[in-house]
Amino acid sequence: MSKINAAITGIQGYVPEYILTNDELATMVVTSDEWITTRTGIKERHILKGEGLGTSDMAVEAVKGLLKKTNTSPDEVDLVICATVTPDMVYPATANIISDKVGIKNAFSFDINAACSGFIYALVTASKYVESGGYKKVIVVGGDKMSSVVDYTDRTTCIIFGDAAGAVMLEPSEEGYGIQDSILKVDGSGRVHLHQKAGGSVRPASIETVTNREHFVYQEGQAVFKFAVTKMADVSVEIMEKNNLKSEDIAWLVPHQANLRIIEATARRMGLEKDKVMINIQKYGNTTNGTIPMCLYEWEDQLKKGDNIILSAFGGGFTWGSIYLKWAYDGKR
């Protein structure tokens, strides 16, 4: 039997309706459209409004669309992995809630938390199940309702994040398409620079933690920026060299959308022109686990069978990594 690769055979994204513009943010904190645009590249982001709605509600929209366009019945799905840092609840896993809401009954499911690198961590994990030969249809969904953990009085973080979800179907390919290689990394000492202080077992929720606004994203922007800009570029170049890929061999870079300056620096190090880089940060901001699937979704109709694609991310943890894949189908499904 020939080698089994895990190939993406469908993709669907979802963003909530409400658009929070830079100008609206400037009515909430001392900032300006000009500052946000030049420092981050972000113009607007989508926010999930409505009582009782969480990450799973966006993920469900993405997964339902994915099942429809790949002609898959919920009963056929073997595994669902959800990458998120804003789970509906501390437990059970949001993947379980998504499976239930979509009617997936013959699968097992779990969450992965690797912050902004979560989607590529989850994709690599899922690919190992598919490559084993035992799993035929695996869904990887990345999504975050970042607005649930963003402090809208803190101008250094509230301008960055948005809400979104995206889902891909992974299936076996014996023709060599799909994931070819991956490099995943972690440096846990980086946790001091980017984390959520309270709500975990070390510092459970209390009146004090709420008063101190400790249930929000805490980020030392410059420290994170320095690591992100170096590590995301390093790992992207490393995966190219490991696979003997020259810049002209690469059809697309799909970078995590944290800051336009980080994306541009990564592309420069890889020797890629801007027209080979998926960038939609201006519309959605940093949607954490939603960025990479939202890019693939928006560019799907431009992708061709056999395209060499590099996915790259950097996130809290610190976590970072790259995936090299060969796209498995032409255009929009």
22 binds ligand UT7, rule: CB under 6 A: no
116 is catalytic: yes
Query: How far is CA 110 from its chain centroid?
Result: 16
158 is catalytic: no
Q: What value does the CA radius of gyration of the chain take, rounded to a whole number of Å?
A: 19
Query: Is the peptide bond between 87 and the residue preceding it cis, with omega within 30 degrees of 0?
Result: no
Ranked by CB distance to ligand UT7, the top (closest) residue is 221
Residue 235 contacts residue 310 (beta carbons within 8 Å): no
- Name beta bridge partners: 19: 46
Least distance to ligand UT7, CB of residue 42, Å: 9
Q: What sign has the CA pseudo-torsion 281, 287, 291, 294? A: negative
**Per-residue x/- track, 270-289, ligand UT7 (CB under 6 A):** ----------------x---
Cβ distance to ligand UT7 smaller for residue 70 or 117: 117
The secondary structure of 237-278, three-state, reads: HHHHHHCCCCHHHCCEEEECCCCHHHHHHHHHHHCCCHHHEC
**Using CB under 6 A, which residues numbered 138 to 177 contact ligand UT7?**
155-156, 159
7 binds ligand UT7, rule: CB under 6 A: no
Cβ distance to ligand UT7 smaller for residue 72 or 319: 319
Contact with ligand UT7 (CB under 6 A) among 148, 221, 282, 333: 221
d(CA 218, CA 215): 9
Contact with ligand UT7 (CB under 6 A) among 5, 12, 22, 31: 31
Least distance to ligand UT7, CB of residue 257, Å: 8
20 binds ligand UT7, rule: CB under 6 A: no
Least distance to ligand UT7, CB of residue 184, Å: 15
d(CA 3, CA 270): 29
The pairing of strands 217-219 and 194-196 is: antiparallel
Residue ranges binding ligand UT7 (CB under 6 A) = 31, 35-36, 39-40, 116, 155-156, 159, 221-222, 224-225, 228, 258-259, 262, 286, 314-315
What residues are annotated to the active site? 116, 256, 286
